[in-house]
Amino acid sequence: MLAAQMVAAGIRGSLTVAAPGGRYRCLVPQTKQQVIEVWRYPVKSLQGETVSSAVVGANGVEGDRRFAIFDVATGLGLTARRVPELLFGSARYLGADGVEITLPDGTVARDDAALSSWLGRAVVLRSTDEVVDRRFENVDDFEREGESPWHAFDGSRGSFRDSERTAVSIVSEGSLAGWDRRRFRSNILVSGSGEESLVGSRVSLGGAVLQVGKQVGRCVMVTRPQPDGIEKDLGVLRTIHRERNGCLAVGAVVTAEGTVAVGDSLLPG
């Protein structure tokens, strides 16, 4: 009852309650959180775009991770973990017309040949409808990347996500702690802090309902340089491991489709 009263009052935190046989903690929302930005990344590992609103369904934000670039020789999907240059290209979702990719020199890539020339290897752009086997790579030791082995892993079905449990990712301003939000490539930026307390709960976000199932583990990707002054910085990942157990942001699956817009509230249930 007290937890419900706290929610109604807009208080967030953890409430420790005496119970038969011991104590338990009840996590309730912190102050009311609102959507500040909605992001989609039409091509995996390329720069994305902000939108004022988007339909959020089973595959996440409409158009998000709808395409990926694959290495012809290995069959592996390319990410900025292995090919950091990808972060200097950008993508714009065109709906039924696909995607438009702008290369670092400002030209639009018209075909796979242009992408291959840019990346210095034979590659193909594929949509989620065209690829069943989605395998990507991660480095085992980001501190010694030049010497470390890499391991391949299976990506999710649906959108080209790394995890089946993260159709939508949510990060708060408080968790960013001054880091540029583009390092973390989350879909939803909300005000406040403490999104990790939502793990295991159902939340409403605009017209959509999400089941928050995990914290998002972080990899070498967050250390990569990006346009407009984001420098290579291993300290970002070191800090996340030291202070946040290797995680930043939360991942959710969508249980009810709906539209999410800037200014919408993140609410329990």
pLDDT in tens, the chain (269 residues): 334 444 444 444 433 333 333 333 344 445 689 999 999 999 999 999 999 999 999 999 999 999 999 999 999 999 999 999 999 999 999 999 999 999 999 999 999 999 999 999 999 999 999 998 899 999 999 999 999 999 999 999 999 999 999 999 999 999 999 999 999 999 999 999 999 999 999 999 999 999 999 999 999 999 999 999 999 999 999 999 999 999 999 999 999 999 999 999 999 97
**Is residue 64 a contact partner of residue 158, using CB atoms and an 8 Å limit?**
no
For position 21, what pLDDT does the model report? 39
Show me where the domains of the chain are located.
1-30, 32-268
For position 133, what pLDDT does the model report? 87
State the CATH class of domain 32-268. Answer: mainly beta
For position 59, what pLDDT does the model report? 96
Give CA–CA dist 133/141, Å, rounded: 25
Structural Rg of the chain based on CA atoms: 19
Instruction: Extract the tokens encoding 240.
Output: 């996340």
Instruction: Extract the tokens encoding 71.
Output: 């290495």
Sequence length of the chain is 269
For position 17, what pLDDT does the model report? 35
Q: How much is the pTM?
A: 0.87
For position 31, what pLDDT does the model report? 64
CA pseudo-torsion sign 111, 115, 121, 123: negative
